Amino acid sequence: MSLGHSSCAPGFDGADPRYKRILFIVIAINFTMFVVELAAGFSANSQALKADALDFLADSATYALSLYVIGMSLRARARAALFKGLSLAVLGLWVLISTAYQVLVLGLPKAEVMGAIGFLALAANLASVFLLLRYRDGDSNVRSVWLCSRNDAIGNVAVIIAGFAVWLTASAWPDLVVAAIMASLFLWSSSRIVLQATAELTHARADAGE
């Protein structure tokens, strides 16, 4: 799927002081929301909130890794992106497994908490998306940051919808459906990151004559 055109070149590697400052801010936003949303997820017994909270934690860690490898070789940056892509796949699989557990064991989530935290998380992620908008293209390391942020915003909208649907139907199924959709989104983004990182690793090996 095309992400459109941006002011940064497709080969942009993140080596820009402004981009680094933005990453610091985005990391802080994501980690704060992980703490808030995880607590709310347990309080509301919402699998969608827990899944979204873990996505915030994963993003905090992977953005920190993205920041660390900026300025390193293409191979190092591609390997970092490959790790992030695989981690995102693991997160997606965890969400699917925990969703099945919710179906079999846990009860109805609290719709009002889901909705309130969903709006708060959406505001946080929209701020991150706005900050990263001009850097949505670039190498696999930079692009993975954009994809994760975009996924978060989409996931938050889905959580808000799920909260309303849970309240309307008095059923846990909307929460479970949204968690499953989010897991699918994680897996799709993982595949895009892994494919681009693998291509960059192949290019780096070719340049090295391996």
The pLDDT profile of the chain, 210 residues, written as one tens digit per residue, is 333 334 444 466 667 788 888 888 999 998 998 898 888 888 877 766 777 787 788 778 878 888 887 877 778 777 877 887 787 788 778 777 766 666 556 555 666 776 777 788 888 888 888 888 777 777 777 777 777 777 778 777 877 777 777 778 777 777 777 777 777 877 887 787 788 778 878 887 777 766
Domain boundaries, the chain: 17-208
Q: What is the C-alpha separation between 155 and 174, in angstroms, rounded?
A: 13
Contacts of 204 (CB under 8 A, 6+ apart): 73, 74, 75, 78
- 17-208 fold: Alpha-lytic protease prodomain-like (1.20.1510)
- pLDDT of the residue at 91: 74
- pLDDT of the residue at 6: 40
Q: What is the C-alpha separation between 4 and 204, in angstroms, rounded?
A: 26
- pLDDT of the residue at 1: 30
Q: Cα 97 from chain centroid?
A: 18
- pLDDT of the residue at 2: 31
- pLDDT of the residue at 27: 92
User: Considering only CA atoms, which of 130, 126, 121, 120 is closest in space to residue 22?
Assistant: 130
- pLDDT of the residue at 104: 58
- pLDDT of the residue at 4: 37
Q: What sections of the chain are H helices per DSSP?
A: 17-44, 47-69, 74-104, 111-132, 140-169, 173-208
- pLDDT of the residue at 81: 77
- pLDDT of the residue at 102: 60
- pLDDT of the residue at 18: 86
